[in-house]
Amino acid sequence: MKRTAIKRRPLADTVLASLEPEEKEYRESYGRDRLYFVVSPSGRKRWEMRFKKPDSGRWGWLGLGSYPDVSAKLARQKADEAFALVQQGIDPVKHRKEQKRIEQEAETNLFRVTAEEWYARKQQMGRASKTLYGIRLWLDKDALPMLGQMPIDRVTRAQCRDLQKRIEEREAFNTAKKSRSWLNQIFGYAIAHDRTDNNPASNLLDVAAVAPAESSYPYLLEAQLPDFLRALRASTSRQVVLTAAWMVVYTASRPGMVRFAEWEEIDLKKKLWVIGADKMKMRPRLIHECPDRAA
C-alpha cells in the first residue's frame, strides 16, 4: 500500500502491515499526539515518538521498537510512559540509557560472574587439575544453582548457611569444609574488587555439622606383607582393580594418584610412569620406574 492511499488515522493494523517502502525513509503520523510509524527503504518498520527535551526545550526522537514485534497497542503504551517522564522533567532517552547502565552493572555484580572470575584466576595460578576439577564440580552442582543469579552484595548469611547444610545433608563433609574456604575466597575477591563490603560466609564454621570420626585404613607392617601379597595374587577382583593395587605396591604412590593416572603418562616400552608437576602437591615432576613384574 502506498502511503498516499492512507485515508484515516489512527492507522489501522492492515495499513501498518501493508505500507510499502520508498526510496527514502519516511515517517507517518500514527494519528496520535507525536507518535510516528517509520518505514525504511529496506522495508523495516519501527515506532518513534517526538518529544521536547526538558533541559533544552529542543525536539528529540525516542525509538519505541520494531514493528510487528511492538504492536500499535504496545507502542501507545510505551509512548504514554515516555510522556509521563517528560512531564516530570525527565528526558526519556537519558532515562533509558541510565536504566540500561544499571541493568548492566547488576548483571556484572552477580555471584556467578565473580565466582567464574575467581575460578579463572585459580586456573591462571596453576592449581592442580584435581583441585580445579573439585572446584568446578562444586560450582556447577552446589554454589551456582543456589547463589549464581544473586547480586553478590545481596547474598545473605542464611543462604550461605543453607548451601553448607545442603552439602552436609548428603554427608559430603569434606566438600562442606572446602565449600567454606572457597566461599570465603570468592567473597574476599569480591571485596577486593569493590563489589561488596560484606562476607556472609565468614562464620560458617560456627554452625557446621560435626563430621563423623574417620577411621583410616591402617598401614601394613613388614611382617604382614607376605600374607597380603599372597592374598593379592590370589584375588579374583577385576583386572582394573588388581592393576591399580599392584601399581600402589610397586610405586608407593597414593591410591588417589593411581586412580587419576592417565595413559599419556605411561610409557610401556621404557617401563616408566611420569606424573606431571600439575598433579603433585609440591609441584615437582615424579617419575616411577616400573619393575618387570609391574610391566
20: domain CATH number is 3.30.160.390
Domain of residue 279 covers: 222-289
Residue 181 · residue 127 · CB < 8 Å: no
What's the pLDDT band for 295 if we cut at 50, 70, 90?
very low
Same domain, 282 and 251: yes
Which strands form 286-289's sheet, in the order they lie side by side?
Answer: 266-267, 272-275, 286-289
106 in any annotated domain: no
Cα–Cα nearest to 22, from 52, 43, 46 = 43
Same domain, 203 and 267: no
Select from 176, 207, 238 the last residue of a domain: 207
102 in any annotated domain: no
Number of domains in the chain: 3
180 in any annotated domain: yes
Q: Judging by DSSP bridges, how do beta strands 266-267 and 35-39 pair with one another?
A: unpaired
pTM of the model: 0.51
> What distance separates the 2 farthest-apart alpha carbons in the chain?
107
Residue with the bigger pLDDT between 265 and 101: it is 265
pLDDT tens digits for 252-273? 888 888 888 888 888 888 888 8
Same domain, 88 and 118: no
Rounded to 5 degrees, what are φ and ψ at 135?
A: -65, -45
Same domain, 77 and 162: no
Q: Tell me the H-state helices in the chain.
A: 13-18, 72-87, 92-108, 111-124, 129-138, 144-147, 157-169, 173-192, 225-234, 239-251, 255-259
213 in any annotated domain: no
pLDDT tens digits for 23-64? 999 999 998 779 999 999 999 999 999 999 998 999 999 999
